[in-house]
Chains A and B, each alone.
Chain A
């Protein structure tokens, strides 16, 4: 079946602009995660949703970052007033549930470059 998809695959924007990154999880997966990966580093957790609600947003770096999942499926990560330091690969993952053995399946990521 279809895996996790993310759009756009690449995004170039200017400092100060607003961007939206979209994630389509695997059908039927109730949990959705966002991670950020800087060059040469492992992915770092940003936020996760169980259904429509953000169950843990402790990884969001500041209030310029916000994510929604209004119908419990597709999620959008929103970044306001982008800064050059926001340049990274933004990864989305989904899992069937949130048990300790639930495997997270990752999308290909969106590469964001802020000029």
Chain B
């Protein structure tokens, strides 16, 4: 069964906030949630990670529900360069990152 579930695609208007959801209902109590993105033909790029508290950095904010079964990545002011595939990731088996299939975000001018 999937470790993470994300919608396959989303659109967002340029300048608006992009909210990308992820379900990770089987996450264990001490595992972090990571978010990466992958722009076409590049390697995945780290965005943010968190355990149970909300996190914010210069790229994005991460909101994790109290039961830790889901999270939302927020890009506060999406730009065209934010068009990418966004992966919500959990660790399995120790140090393996489980990527799933991600959400393809298209930022529309």
Contact = CB atoms under 8 A, between A and B. Distances in A.
Nearest to A46: B96
Interface residues of A, number: 27
B49 interface: yes
Contacts of A56: 93-96
A1 interface: no
B30 A100 contact: yes
Most chain B beta carbons < 10 A, residue from A40, A42, A100, A105: A42
Interface residues of B, number: 25
B97 A45 contact: yes
A59 B96 contact: yes
Most chain B beta carbons < 10 A, residue from A31, A44, A58, A106: A106
Interface of B is mostly: loop
Contacts of B93: 56, 58
A102 to B, nearest CB: 8
Contact of B46 (A40, A43, A48, A104): A104
A98 B30 CA distance: 15
A108 interface: yes
Contacts of B45: 106
Interface of B: 30-32, 34, 36, 41-46, 49, 85, 87, 91, 93-102
